[in-house]
Structure 1
Amino acid sequence: MTDFPRRPLGATGLLVTPVCVGGGPLGSMPGLFGYDVSAERGTETAVAAFTGPFNFLDTAAGYSDGASERRIGAALARIGGVPDGFVLATKVDRNFETGDFSGAQVRRSAEGSLERLGLDRLPLVYLHDPEHISFEEGMAPGGPVEALLALQREGVIGQLGVAGGPVDLMARYLRTGVFTALITHNRWTLVEQSAGDLLDEAVSLGVGVVNGAPFGGGILVKGTAATSKYAYRTADEEVLRRIRAMEEACAAHDVPLAAAALQFSTRDPRITSTIVGVSRPERIAATARLATWDIPGELWETLAPLAAPKEFWHG
């Protein structure tokens, strides 16, 4: 199997492969992904992630109410712990029932992750989806960022990251100087490129960039015949028209649309690693094949102008 290089993740001191295994589907989220994942399949998939060609796995406390982390923890118990050089990242979440995103909630979230994963330290933890509160609330005394910094001082957390959607808000958090890693999702793909300025700013600040959802929630893998949703929402007909044109261009070059979608991200020098969610063990090897598929320059030239116009971006 391909031996993928390990790259510095900004100034974190962590070295990671250009593909990061996404743990969202491991815990079964049929409402989002459209299918169930059994506990055993999730655990087997996590084992494949830990023993495969990539050294980076991303999850979150809130994925399936902790099921993703529990299955990853079961996999770690099965293989005897985190492999040397492997980077396991998670995220602290708000209380989904009450909306509480206080410092106390962040501490509870991190403590829950440690328990479910069976670890005593977390090398990289992201503040997850802070768009659900104001920036001022996020940075306030007693708020989530203050709690993360306290956990870092206590040695519970190594590096701090921020993971979310709105690019302007993510940039505000990066400018605080607190975070050394960023996850942006659904905003730097073949279809949408609203995160361009954010990527530039992150690099200028020495922040490691991880790009999530390169497949736009699935349509850039399954194709328009299987789904009409981009970023988990029904896509505008103009966006679908452009994706159909991408499908035709890729087919003409015998390149899977998924390979082009993944490599659009991995070939960008500003992006250290790209998250690909997996829910079956065999998807690890399949993703490695997509990441190394030979794509001619002519295809990139054809795909570039097919990105959706700015009025269709999420921003």
Structure 2
Amino acid sequence: MPDPTALIPHDKSGLRLSRLSLGTAPLGGLYAPVSEAQAREVLEAAWGQGLRYFDTAPQYGNGTAERRLGGFLRDQPRAAFVLSTKVGRLLREGPPHPSQVDPEGHSYYQGVPQVMQVYDYSYRGVLRSLEESLERLGLARVDILYVHDPDADNRSVEEVMRGGYRALVELRQQGLVQAIGVGMNHADWLAEFARSGDFDLLLLAGRYTLLDQAALRELLPLCHHKGIGVVVGGVYNSGILADPRPGARYDYVPAQPELLQRALRLQAVCEAHGVPLKAAAIQFALGHPSVVSVLTGVRSREELEENLRMFRWEVPPELWGHLRREGLLDYDTPIPGG
């Protein structure tokens, strides 16, 4: 039975990440408010279940997720967990940046202070971002520092490498962080970063899933060659692989009909083997040797327990073979246990 709490060692960074890890965007009020008590309950449950890698960012709830996570982790032994946050967005007074609101003008994060997120991937901006994150977290250090979605503000790889990357390397050299990386949902951009710098870990969202294996073309082989660990998020592709139905989200917006039909075909194969689609989706990415953790965000204890149950579900090898025969997975796609 797959163990979500097993620690996977990563040679390049020296870190050990739990196979299943906790992302905190929902705890920052993504799409709907989350109370302080509810967030604390989720964090306590995750810790009690043995999850030991936690990811956050200034963006999540405009600093709310960092404050909530730090308030919990300060009570835990520092050597017992791995913590990552991100750089590239500074929180300042002012109207929200257009990227902070949906097409109807509603904030993506509800029930939290509304501030301006200022994109800054410069050398000084990265140092300032980490300093402010540590203040919100109430901790002396983080283990992993990711550059956050530079594509969201049309920043080039070259610009980040000239500015913020230098700061990341210095922070690692000084022992202020143990690992550096980039987090985004564009596999091709991440491959360019992997070629351009000395990164330890990359956080890839939504591009190595049952529905989208774009990362197999270049990124994952490159990471395997360079010893870069990959943390995979977005394994449900914003919800369509959790519950494929009309109106289900893919990449945070309603899914196109062809994607919904493909998700329904995936679900039908899983049902033929007595396996929930969510179980196959949450386990799939760990079939690749470069993947060191699957990152999932939840807003309630019930969602956390459901993810744990899906992660522990016994998925028969025949299911993966069936997906290949149906043309839903390429034959050279690595599979769990394969």
TM range (shorter): 0.7 to 0.9
* Residue 268 of structure 1 pairs with residue 288 of structure 2: yes
- Are the equivalent residues in 2 in contact too, given 1:10–1:209 (CA < 8 A)? no
Aligned to 1:136: 158
CA contact (8 A) 1:60 1:93 kept: no
Counterpart-to-counterpart distance in 2, 1:128 and 1:65: 14
Distance 2:11 2:149 in 1: 21
Q: What CA RMSD, in Å, does the superposition of the two structures yield over aligned residues?
A: 2.2
Q: What is the deviation of 1:10?
A: 4.4
User: What's the CA shift string for 1:289-309, capped at 9, x where partnerless?
Assistant: 111101122222233445499
Counterpart pick for 1:181 among 198, 201, 208 = 201
Report deviation, 1:116: 1.4
Aligned position for 2:46 = 49
Which among 144, 148, 162 is matched to residue 182 of structure 2?
162
Shift of 1:266: 2.3
CA 300–66 in structure 1, closer or farther in 2 if over 3 Å, else same? same
Residue in structure 1 matched with residue 28 of structure 2 by the alignment? 27
8 Å CA contact 2:157, 2:189 repeated in 1: yes
Task: Kindly report which structure 2 residues correspond to 1:55-94, keeping only aligned pairs within 5 A, or say none.
Answer: 55-77=52-74, 80-82=75-77, 84-94=79-89
Deviation at 1:68, TM superposition (A): 0.7
**C-alpha contact 1:10 1:203 (8 A) present in aligned 2:** no
Q: Is the 8 A contact 1:209 1:271 kept in 2?
A: yes
Report the AA paired with residue 70 of structure 1: R
Is 1:7 matched with 2:8? yes
Residue deviations 1:150-193, cap 9 Å, x none?
Answer: 33334322211111122222112112342100111111111111
Bigger shift: residues 56-65 or 146-155: 146-155
Residue identity matched to 2:309: R
1:121 touches 1:155 (CA, 8 Å); kept in 2? no
The equivalent of 1:220 in structure 2 is: 241
In the TM superposition, residue 94 of structure 1 has moved relative to its aligned partner by 2.4
Match of 1:313 in 2: none
In 1, the alpha carbon distance for the partners of 2:245 and 2:66 equals 32
Give distance in 1, aligned partners of 2:323 and 2:88: 36
Distance 1:82 1:286, change over 3 A: farther
User: Is the 1:124–1:158 Cα contact (8 Å) retained in structure 2?
Assistant: yes
Q: 1:289 aligns with which of 284, 305, 309?
A: 309
- Distance in 2 between the 1:224 and 1:235 partners? 9
Q: Provide Cα deviations, 1:52-71, integer angstroms capped at 9, x if missing partner.
A: 22221111122111111111
Q: Secondary structure at the match of 1:126?
A: strand
Aligned to 2:113: none
Q: TM-score scaled to structure 2, two decimals? A: 0.82
Indicate whether 1:119 and 2:114 are aligned: no
CA distance in 2, matches of 1:93, 1:187: 21
CA distance in structure 2 between the partners assigned to 1:82 and 1:164 by the alignment: 30
Deviations 1:180-212 (A, max 9, x none): 001111111111110012011111101111111
1:40 corresponds, among 34, 37, 41, to 37
* Count of matched residue pairs: 300
What does residue 335 of structure 2 align with? none
Distance apart, 1:3 and its partner CA: 7.0
Query: How many Å separate the matches in 2 of 1:290 and 1:175?
Result: 35
- CA separation in 2, counterparts of 1:62 and 1:156? 22
Which stretch shifts more, 109-118 or 44-53?
44-53
Q: Is the CA contact (8 Å cut-off) linking 1:47 and 1:76 kept in structure 2?
A: no
Residues 1:200 and 2:203 aligned together:
no
Residues 206 and 234 of structure 2 are in contact (CA less than 8 Å); yes or no, is this contact kept in structure 1? yes
1:252 CA displacement: 2.8
Q: Is the 8 A contact 2:236 2:282 kept in 1?
A: yes
Q: In the alignment, is the contact (CA less than 8 A) between 1:242 and 1:308 conserved in 2?
A: no
Larger RCO (CA under 8 A, 6+ residues apart): 1
Cα distance in 2 between the residues matched to 1:284 and 1:166 = 26
1:233 is displaced (CA, Å) by 2.6
TM-score after normalising by structure 1: 0.88
Matched residues in 1 for 2:121 and 2:17: separation?
Answer: 29
**Once the 2 structures are TM-superposed, how far is the Cα of residue 82 of structure 1 from its aligned partner?**
4.2
Amino acid at match of 1:269: P
Following superposition, the deviation at residue 282 of structure 1 comes to 3.5
